[in-house]
Amino acid sequence: MHKVLASLVALVAATSGALSPALAQQAVASLETSRVVIAPPQNALARTIKDGLSAAYYSATRDTTAYNEAQRLYFLYGERHFDPIWLSQDASGAISFSPAAEKIVALFRTADAEGLRPSDYLTPDIDLSRAKSGDPAALAALETAFSRATMRYANHIHNGRIRPQSVSENLDIQPKKIDEAALLERLAKSDNPASILAELEPKHPEFLALKQALANFGKTDTARPTPIAEGAVLRPGGTDARVPAIRERLKLTALGSNSYDDMLVSAVKSFQESQGLEVDGIIGPATVAALNGGAATRREDILANMERWRWMPSDLGKFNVFVNIPEFRLAINRDGHEEYTTRVVVGTTKNQTPIFSDNIRHLVVNPFWNVPSSIIRGEIAPAVMRNPGYTDAKNMDLIYNGSVVSPWQVNWSQVSTSNFPFRVRQRPGPGNSLGQIKFLFPNKHDVYLHDTPSKSLFARSYRAFSHGCIRVQNPFEFADALMANEPNISGASLEAMFGPNEKWVNPQTSIPVHLAYFTLRVDGDGTIRSYGDVYGHNEKLIAAMGLNAAPAPAIIAETSPIADDLSP
C-alpha cells in the first residue's frame, strides 16, 4: 500500500501546481460562507488529490464553469483533509471504486430520461477501468473527476444546465443552493443514491407531467403532426399556404384549397372557445400556438420547459400568484390548486416583462405614477414639445427638488442629457396609467401588477402591449382573492378608499409572486397546451441546449396597441 501511495504522489506531483497564496485569497474572498477551513492532507493519496485539485483550480480561467467547479471541489475536499470519497481500500490494501459510485454511473447513463445529456457526466475522465488498474495517479484523477461529474449532475437536475442570463438578461433567476459537501457524503454512504439525487428534482405536477410526456414521446406508431408555422395573421376570406394543414389539424375534409372559408372559420372559432382564446376566427400567434399543442408538441419544447421548471424556486408557496407571460394569464394558487384566474397584459417585445420571483408586500389605492425616465425621454418629452399643455391634459406634475414646477418653464429638449433634473408624476384619478390600484413587490426592475384604464386590450388574444409592468383585467376581483387570508382587507374595503389621495395597505403576510415563462402548460388530465414564444426565450433556450430544432419565426402581434398608451 505504501508503494502505491508513494508512486501516486510521484506521478501526480510532477504535473501539479500548488495553490498560490494570491489565488487562495481570491477563492476565500469569493466564497459565500463566512469561514473556510482547509484541512491539511493526512496521507499520500490525500496529498495527491490536493495537488491535482490545486492544479485544476490554478489553471482554470476565472469565472468560467471549469473555474467554479474546481473552486468548489478544492474547498469541499479541503474541509475533509482531501480524503477520498469514492475510493476505498480493502483488507489486502487494494484500492477500488465504491458500489455507490457504480450506481451513480448508472444514473448518468439514463440522464436523457431526465431531459439531460449523459455525455455531460460520462466524460472521458470517468473511466471505471482506472479503478481496477490500481494506478495511483489514475485513481486520484478518477476520484476528483467523479465528484465533479456528480456535482454537475446534481446542479443540473436542481437548477438546470443552462444559465438563464445566457438566454436573456431579462431572466433574473438565481440558482438554488446545494450543500454539496453534505450531498456527496450522503451519496457515498447510501445504498440508493438515486433516491437522494431525486430529492433535488422539481416536484411540481407540471414538471412531472412533462417528464412523463418526454418518456412517452415517440412510443406510439401514430405519426405526430407537423407543427403549423407562424406567419402573417390570417383573417376570414384570406388565403394562406398553411390552410390545408390547419384544416387537417381540426379534422375537416382536406380540400387542398388555401382559402380560409366559412367552414374552417367556424371550426377555428370552436377551437378558440375550447382553448379560452378570443373567439374571433382570426388565426394569429396565440391560435397557432394552441394548434401546436397536444399531439403536435415538439420534443425540444418539452425539454426547454422542463429546464425552465428547474429554474423555478423549489417551493412556490402554499398560497401564491403565478403569472405566465406567454399565456397572458395570472392565477392565484392554494396548495397546488387554482383558486382564481384573470387575463393580464404584459410587456412588449421591446419592453419585456422580466422573469423572476418575489413577494407582494403592499397594495396602493389611488396610486401616483412616477414615470420612468425612459418614458419621459421617449414619449412625454416629444409630446410636450409638440404641445406644451400635454402634461396638464394628462394630469401630470413636473417635480423639481420635491416641488411642483410649471412645464412651460422647462427646456424639454434637454431631457436626454444628464443635466435634466426633473421628475414627472401622474396624479391619482380616472385617467391614471396605473388605474385605481397597484400591487407592489419592490424589485430592481420597478415592475409590478396594476390596474389600467386601457381595458379594451384584455379582449385580445395577443396581449404584449405594456412597458414591462403587468396590467390586471379585474384588479379588485384579484385583490379580493389575493387578500383571502387577511381578515381586515378585502376588495370592498379597498374600493371604499377611492379618492384623490394615495393610500397604502400592508398585508400581514407577504405573498409569493412568480413571473414565469412557460410555452407549455399541462392540464390535470395530462393535456399539453401550447402558447406562443412571445419574447423568443424558448427558441433561444432550445439553441443554447444544443437541441436540433428549426428556428421558429418571430411572433407577430395580431393588432397594434391603442395610441398614446403610456401605461407601464
pLDDT in tens, 344-360: 999 999 999 999 999 99
408 or 150, which is more confident?
150
Q: What fold does the segment set 295-367+433-568 form as a domain?
A: L,D-transpeptidase catalytic domain-like (2.40.440)
Whether residue 469 lies in the annotated active site: yes
The 3-class secondary structure across 233-273, one letter per residue, is: CECCCCECCCHHHHHHHCCCCCCCCCECCHHHHHHHHHHHH
Q: CA 201, 203, 209, 212: dihedral to nearest 10 degrees?
A: 40
The set of long-range contacts for 108-116, using a CB threshold of 8 Å and a minimum separation of 24, is 108/149, 108/153, 111/153, 113/211, 113/214, 113/215, 114/157, 114/201, 114/211, 115/211, 115/214, 115/302, 115/303, 115/306, 115/307, 116/153, 116/156, 116/157, 116/161
- What is residue 95's three-state secondary structure? strand
CA-wise closest residue to 473 among 492, 449, 490, 495: 449
288 or 521, which is more confident?
521
Angle between helices 44-59 and 2-13 (to 10 degrees): 20
* Separation of CA 123 from chain center: 28
DSSP 161: S
Residue 555 has pLDDT above 50, yes or no: no
Q: What percent of the chain shows pLDDT beyond 90?
A: 47
Residue 324 has pLDDT above 90, yes or no: yes
Least confident interval from 14-28, 309-323, 476-490: 14-28
What is the pLDDT at residue 15? 32
Residue 195 pLDDT level (bands cut at 50, 70, 90): very high
* Domain residue ranges in the chain: 2-201, 243-283, 295-367+433-568, 369-427
CB contact at 8 A, 228 and 246: yes
What is the pLDDT at residue 307? 98
C-alpha cell at 91: 483488507
Task: Give the whole-angstrom CA distance, residue 510 versus residue 22.
Answer: 44
The amino acid sitting at 107 is L
Task: Give the whole-angstrom CA distance, residue 283 versus residue 472.
Answer: 25
| Average pLDDT for 475-499 | 96
Strands 470-472 and 503-505: unpaired
Q: What percent of the chain shows pLDDT beyond 70?
A: 85
β-pair partners for 334 = 319, 337
- Whole-number average pLDDT of the chain: 85
pTM for the full predicted model? 0.81
| 86 φ, ψ (degrees, to nearest 5) | -105, -15
pLDDT in tens, 94-152: 666 788 988 999 999 999 999 999 999 999 888 767 666 666 667 778 888 899 999 99
Task: Give the whole-angstrom CA distance, residue 138 versus residue 127.
Answer: 9
CA-wise closest residue to 297 among 557, 519, 533: 519
Least confident interval from 16-30, 415-429, 436-450: 16-30
What is the pLDDT at residue 4? 35
Task: Give the whole-angstrom CA distance, residue 374 versus residue 354.
Answer: 16
| Average pLDDT for 466-478 | 96
Question: Order of strands across the sheet with 403-405?
Answer: 369-370, 423-426, 396-400, 403-405
Residue 543 has pLDDT above 50, yes or no: yes
Catalytic residue among 156, 450, 514, 537: 450
Task: Give the whole-angstrom CA distance, residue 234 versus residue 285.
Answer: 10
Least confident interval from 38-52, 151-165, 169-183, 482-496: 38-52
What is the pLDDT at residue 475? 96
| Distance (Å) of CA 419 to CA 211, 373, 413, 414, 422 | 55, 13, 11, 7, 9
What is the pLDDT at residue 36? 65
The most confident of the ranges 176-185, 289-298, 361-370, 424-433 is 361-370
C-alpha cell at 229: 408555422
What is the pLDDT at residue 122? 94
- What is residue 484's three-state secondary structure? coil
Residues found in the chain: 568
Catalytic residue among 156, 158, 467, 469: 469
What is the pLDDT at residue 416? 75
What is the pLDDT at residue 128? 67
DSSP 533: -
Least confident interval from 115-124, 163-172, 186-195, 406-415: 406-415
Whether residue 450 lies in the annotated active site: yes
Least confident interval from 139-153, 215-229, 477-491: 215-229
Strands 464-466 and 337-347: parallel
What is the pLDDT at residue 17? 37
- What is residue 425's three-state secondary structure? strand
pLDDT in tens, 24-75: 434 333 434 445 678 898 887 788 788 888 888 888 899 888 888 888 888 8
Q: How far apart are the first and last CA of the chain?
A: 71
**Sign of the torsion angle spanned by Cα atoms 480, 481, 483, 485:** positive
What is the pLDDT at residue 358? 98
384 or 9, which is more confident?
384
Q: Please state, as a whole number, how many other Cβ atoms lie within 10 Å of the Cβ of residue 237.
A: 11
Task: Give the whole-angstrom CA distance, residue 269 versus residue 286.
Answer: 13
What is the pLDDT at residue 257? 83
